[in-house]
Structure 1
Amino acid sequence: MAVDVLTEIRIGRPLAEVAGYAGDPGNAPEWYSNIESVDWLTTPPVAVGSRMNFVAHFLGRRLAYTYEVVELVPLERLVMRTAQGPFPMETSYQWSAEGEQATRMTLRNRGEPSGFAGVAAPLMAVAMRRANQKDLSRLKNLLESAE
């Protein structure tokens, strides 16, 4: 069973600021509560082909995986994929301006879990949705308080 989780939030900051901060994978540990670290395998800044090692904790497990940027449209969209491990995943961010001082950000995670992860996919989706909503709220608070 596929997992496809879509969450979004309105952030009271300009598009360039939100996309610039959230679209830099090096900032992920600051606003994703489950991500411990990001180590660049390629030279920043982010570009198509950039690769980063992520270490995260999710559902009580430590996860280590490598993301590769497969699509980047500045100030609009970023897509990263990982193919290794029991849960190949695609994470995408999309940004759109809502006036001059606000941005709508969409976070989407989708993948095809296998083995035990495949059996637990419905529970994973619920946990991912809850975590993503918390992370987007954390991002919103972080950016809106940095005036």
Structure 2
Amino acid sequence: MVDVVTAITINRPREQVSEYAAGPENAPEWYVNIKSAEWLTPKPLQIGSKIAFKAHFLGKELSYVYQITEYIPMEILVMKTADGPFPMETTYTWEPVNGSLTRMTLRNQGNPAGFSMLFAPFMSLMMKRANNKDLERIKSILEQPHS
């Protein structure tokens, strides 16, 4: 079982952080490994929405589809792979901290099958490293002064 939890505090209101993070079209900007995101269902984001992602992880090109299973704007977003090489669930949560600060938590859980099971501890470490970079990136994007 892979279960990786990372969190960061971003100096922006919860509404702004959650709106940006929940937008699939923004994923390639702040996720180090995601190269593209394509809506497979009509907008807006809601339970049942499907988004196809292309990513590069551990030297491999990955294509997978996430389906939204829970979404409460400004609180929580849960998505699961509906299709792909590695069954995964990703959860974002957003909590207000002292007015204009937001604590964003990113959690990835999954059960690698077959050969991948041998690499679960390594994958956890690599995912944690990537997730920390992703959260640093979203923080840097959202905290940039607007011109």
Please classify the TM superposition score into its range, dividing by the shorter chain length: over 0.9
User: What is the SS of the residue equivalent to 2:48?
Assistant: coil
* Residue in 2 that maps onto 1:40: 39
Residues 1-147 of structure 1 mapped to structure 2, 5 A cutoff: 2-147=1-146
Take 2:139 and 2:57, find their aligned partners in 1: how far apart are those partners? 22
TM-score by length of structure 2 reads: 0.96
Residue by residue over 1:24-62, the C-alpha shift from the partner in whole angstroms, topping out at 9 and shown as x without a partner, is 111100100100000100111210000010000000000
Residue by residue over 1:2-26, the C-alpha shift from the partner in whole angstroms, topping out at 9 and shown as x without a partner, is 0000000000000000000001111
Unaligned runs of 5+ in 2: none
After TM superposition, give the deviation of residue 143 of structure 1 in Å. 0.2
TM-score by length of structure 1 reads: 0.96
Kept in 2: contact 1:6–1:109 (CA 8 A):
yes
After TM superposition, give the deviation of residue 84 of structure 1 in Å. 3.0
Kept in 2: contact 1:5–1:109 (CA 8 A):
yes
Kept in 2: contact 1:75–1:95 (CA 8 A):
yes
Take 1:103 and 1:92, find their aligned partners in 2: how far apart are those partners? 16
**Percent same amino acid at aligned positions?**
53
Closer, same or farther: CA 3–98 of 1 in aligned 2, 3 Å: same
Take 1:60 and 1:45, find their aligned partners in 2: how far apart are those partners? 33
Kept in 2: contact 1:86–1:117 (CA 8 A):
no
Unaligned runs of 5+ in 1: none
Take 1:138 and 1:53, find their aligned partners in 2: how far apart are those partners? 22
Take 1:85 and 1:43, find their aligned partners in 2: how far apart are those partners? 21
User: What is the SS of the residue equivalent to 1:120?
Assistant: helix
User: What is the SS of the residue equivalent to 2:117?
Assistant: helix
Kept in 2: contact 1:11–1:144 (CA 8 A):
yes
Give RMSD over aligned pairs. 0.9
After TM superposition, give the deviation of residue 86 of structure 1 in Å. 3.4
After TM superposition, give the deviation of residue 85 of structure 1 in Å. 3.3
Kept in 2: contact 1:24–1:45 (CA 8 A):
no
Instruction: State the aligned residue count.
Output: 146
